[in-house]
Amino acid sequence: MLDEKVFYPGKLDIAWCPGCGNYGILRVLQKALAELDIDPHNLVMVSGIGQAAKLPHYFNCHYFNGLHGRALPAAFAISAVNPNLTVIAESGDGDMYGEGGNHFLHTIRRNPNITNIVHNNMVYGLTKGQASPTSQRGFKTPVQPAGVINEPFNPLAVAIALDASFVARTFIGEAERTKEILKQAIRHPGYALVDILQPCVTFNKVNTYQWFKENTYWLEGHNPLDRRAAFSRAIEESEGGKLPLGIFYINPNKVPYNQAAGIYETDARPLFQRSVDLEKLKGLLQSYKE
């Protein structure tokens, strides 16, 4: 087990509000990675834009802090071209489920070996308080003054519908259990979604620490290998129930992308260590003479 301090980058001017759920996610993730013995030099964090997407800046590791909503395609490619890297794609609910919604769907279909952490606070923080795809009906904002009228996006139900290979939700108020879920997700070979509920202390006065405590509960006696049961637990909230927490679904039979694509079948080296095969190229050119 590594000392989690290997992930501490030293003193930085952090852009999060005091009391923000992001601090908890940062600490828990550092602990989980240390407990998994992941060398920071083999860790790549990929993020988009938003307050959550700044997390890699407060981490000692490689990072690709790209465009709003576009973390997943970059993370997919990074994991495809170098299988030795631990790749974590993390960002907020607006980034992953809104701007990047299409990439969310199709990355699940690809099943790359990445962990997708979504900081879900049901509001836009960095743009100052508009509704996010997961904002609940009736939630009032400067852009939705009469309250949100759209159906909230249900990431877990969507992921299970797409047969994502690992689907979990947790609440950052529960640090220890969150850490354990993250460890399982990171160890999981293939795509793993961890939706982390967190309060936004500045722009979401409804879904507070207290609210999450009162409106969530841990799954018990649930078999995560049962996809139908998982889906039915994932839609409880749409039916007016509380938000279940825990590992909803695992499909251990899904083949991760790199294996399905056969990239490392005959050559285990990451792409950057390979070179073009001149003899094969000559052979291919020869075939164009006929």
Partner 1 sequence: MNSAFDRKDCSVVLVGPAGMGIQTVEQALVKVLKSAGYHIFATKEYMSRVRGGMNSTSLRVGSVPVSAPVERIDLLLVLASGGVTHVSGRISSSTVVLGEKEHFSQEMPSGIRTIDIPFEQIASEIGNKLYSNTVAVGLLGAVFHVEEPILEDFVQKRFAGKEPKVVEENKKAIQAGFAQGLRLVQSGLLDIRLQPDPRVKNQIVMEGIEAVGFGALAGGCNFIGAYPMSPSTGLLTFLAKHGKRFGVVVEQAEDEIAAINMALGAWYAGARGIASTSGGGFALMAEGFSLAGMLESPLVIHLAQRPGPATGLPTRTEQADLDLALYAGHGEFPRAILAPGNLQQAFELTRHAFDLADRCQVPVFVLTDQYLADTYYNTEPFDLSDVQVKHHFVETQEGYLRFALTESGLSPRGIPGFGRGFVAVDSDEHDEFGRITEDLSLRTRMVEKRRAKEKFLIEEAIAPTVWPASKKEHLVVCWGSTLPIVQEALEVLGREDVGLVHFPQVFPLHPSTAAILAQARTRICLEGNAGGQFARLLKAYADVEITHRILKYNGAAFTVEEIVRRLKEILK
Query: Is there a contact between 125 and 141 (Cβ–Cβ < 8 Å)?
Result: no
Number of shown-chain residues binding partner 1 (CB under 8 A): 58
Binding region for partner 1 (CB under 8 A) out of 75-83, 129-137, 148-156, 244-252: 75-83
Contacting residue, 73, 94, 152, 244, with partner 1 by CB under 8 A = 73
Cα distances from 36 to residues 6, 187, 257, in angstroms, run 13, 8, 22
Closest CA to 156 of 165, 147, 167: 167
2 lies in the binding site for partner 1 (CB under 8 A): no
Which residues 83-142 are close enough to bind partner 1 by CB under 8 A? Answer: 84-85, 102-103, 105-106, 110
Smallest gap from residue 148 Cβ to partner 1 (A)? 26
Smallest gap from residue 117 Cβ to partner 1 (A)? 17
254 lies in the binding site for partner 1 (CB under 8 A): no
DSSP annotation of 152: P
- Contacts of residue 117, defined as CB under 8 A and 6 or more positions apart, other chains included, come to 25, 29, 88, 89, 90, 182, 185, 194, 196
Contacting residue, 6, 77, 126, 201, with partner 1 by CB under 8 A = 77
**CA 111/CA 192 separation, integer angstroms:** 8
Closest CA to 215 of 254, 169, 259, 258: 169
Identify which of residues 64 and 217 has a Cβ nearer to partner 1 in the complex: 64
The binding track of 169-208 with respect to partner 1, each residue x by CB under 8 A or -, is ----------------------------------------
- What is the number of other CB atoms lying within 10 angstroms of the CB of residue 290? 4
Query: Is there a contact between 224 and 251 (Cβ–Cβ < 8 Å)?
Result: no
Query: Is there a contact between 49 and 94 (Cβ–Cβ < 8 Å)?
Result: no
The binding track of 257-286 with respect to partner 1, each residue x by CB under 8 A or -, is ----xxx---x--xxx-xxxxx-xxx-xxx
5 lies in the binding site for partner 1 (CB under 8 A): no
Q: List residues binding partner 1 (CB under 8 A).
A: 12, 15, 40-42, 44, 46, 49, 54, 56-57, 60-67, 70, 72-78, 80-82, 84-85, 102-103, 105-106, 110, 261-263, 267, 270-272, 274-278, 280-282, 284-286, 288-290
